[in-house]
């Protein structure tokens, strides 16, 4: 979890490979209307996020009910979003990817294949409710991805 530009997709794919489980990118679950808004530089509100969060929770619950773990790269910016993502009776583990605003902006400006424009970084940072250290593994995205993936893998396996 984390704001745009933290490397959620890169870390998520690497973590899933490390754990030998499927990977899903939450961006793929946004309704088309959300993608249009973001592509236009308009930040999503809670009502926009509701169907997206529900779809993610249902997808994760289906995997977990089948006895299969899954790694999902998702912003999960607010505590209420993280609570909403929790499938009944099946706790999730969060890896909080955090980084310096300038580093994140540099990454976003270098990205050409994503609908999330760099202009939305500040709205995501304003929306972000940092999870308590007891509720997530905190990782600095200035660290090499392999180090973050190794730490995340150890954290998830310790559950």
pLDDT score of 138: 97
Distance (Å, rounded) from C-alpha 26 to C-alpha 52? 8
Given a cut of 70, whether residue 79 has pLDDT beyond it is: yes
- CB neighbourhood size of 150 (10 A): 15
What confidence tier does 70 reach under pLDDT thresholds 50, 70, 90?
very high
Q: State pTM to two decimals.
A: 0.90
What confidence tier does 87 reach under pLDDT thresholds 50, 70, 90?
confident
What confidence tier does 159 reach under pLDDT thresholds 50, 70, 90?
confident
Share in percent of the chain as helix, strand, coil (round to 5): 55, 10, 35
What SS3 class is residue 93? coil
pLDDT score of 55: 95
Sign of CA dihedral 105, 95, 28, 49: negative
Give tens-digit pLDDT for 97-144. 999 999 999 998 887 665 566 777 898 899 999 999 888 999 999 999
- Which one of 3.40.50.140, 3.40.718.10, 3.40.50.300, 3.30.465.10 gives the CATH number of domain 8-157? 3.40.50.300
Residue 33 CA to its chain's centroid (Å): 20
Distance (Å, rounded) from C-alpha 60 to C-alpha 64? 6
Give tens-digit pLDDT for 4-40. 899 999 999 999 999 999 999 998 999 999 888 888 8
pLDDT score of 125: 94
Given a cut of 90, whether residue 42 has pLDDT beyond it is: no
**Quick one: average pLDDT of 66-88?**
93
């Amino acid at each position: 979890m984390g704001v745009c530009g933290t490397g959620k997709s890169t870390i998520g794919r690497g973590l899933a490979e490390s754990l030998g489980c499927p990977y899903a990118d939450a961006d793929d679950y946004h309704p088309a209307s959300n993608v249009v808004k973001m592509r236009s530089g308009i930040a999503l509100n809670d009502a926009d996020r509701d169907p997206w969060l529900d779809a993610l929770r249902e997808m994760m619950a289906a995997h977990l009910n089948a006895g299969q773990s899954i790694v999902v790269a998702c912003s999960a910016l607010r505590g209420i979003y993280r609570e909403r993502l929790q499938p009944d009776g099946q706790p999730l583990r969060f890896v909080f990817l955090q980084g310096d605003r300038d580093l994140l902006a540099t990454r976003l400006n270098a990205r050409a294949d994503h609908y999330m424009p760099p202009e939305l970084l500040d709205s995501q940072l304003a929306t972000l409710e940092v999870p308590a250290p007891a509720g997530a593994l905190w990782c600095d995205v200035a660290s090499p991805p392999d180090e973050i993936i190794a730490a995340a893998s150890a954290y998830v396996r310790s559950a």
